[in-house]
Amino acid sequence: MLVGSHNGGTACPDMGMMMYDWFNRFGTERLVYGLIHPYVWKANRQLAQIYEKTGAIEAHPKMASAALKKGSSLLVYPGGQYDMFRPHRLRDRIYFAGNKGFIKLALREEVRIVPLISVGTHDTLIILEDYYPQVKQLQQQWSLPWLFDIDPGVFPIYLGLPWGLGIGPMPNIPLPVQIHTRVCPPIIFERYGRDAAKERDYVDACYQLVCQQMQQQLESLIREVG
């Protein structure tokens, strides 16, 4: 299971680079699927169908398990929109927003976690701040509808293309900056199995282990390229 940190807004250039590297090295002979939020299918089915052709599947436990059971690799970005739209001041932090479903999946399916990290990607879209709590309060007070009737969970204000100063999780074009990526050594847990996946304390410990090791790798890469 490939586990990465999202950066750079909806464009996610680090994910694109990882996928390019994968297909450049393995071609189409070695299958890999990537989990994408179900909202993509609800917001734009045509776009979702394009993603499907590159290996995207809906981020659901049954879909993820099916991909692993057939021997495919699985690309997961646990932080989702909270990670990709985290403020620029947090660009050097691994942030999965407490989402531990990928840990439970790895334990149930007994697979290793291979961390993917990048440096520079968060400079392709400068997130000034996330004002979701304030916007959510206004939305509830005034009974305003969300775009596509989807609660985005984030509402960033940012600098980037093509909007200049933009608001909300809108599509963006990455600013031209240098990006460095790294595939890190696999993380192997002490115990696996369905029973292990049901132990809350053990799942929490595994989650912390992944976050800590990815943070260490990220800081190492920052020093190397800085």
Report the relative pairing of strands 156-160 and 56-58 from DSSP bridges.
Answer: unpaired
Residue 172's Cβ-count burial label (10 Å; 0-12, 13-18, 19+) is buried
pLDDT at 12: 84
- Position 55 scores a pLDDT of 77
Q: What is the pLDDT of residues 154-172, one digit of tens each?
A: 999 999 999 899 998 888 8
Of 71, 73, 8, nearest to 35 by C-alpha is: 73
All structural domains of the chain with their residue ranges:
2-122+178-225
Cβ–Cβ under 8 Å, residues 115 and 203: no
pTM for the predicted model, two decimal places: 0.89
Rounded (10°) CA dihedral 75, 81, 85, 86: -90
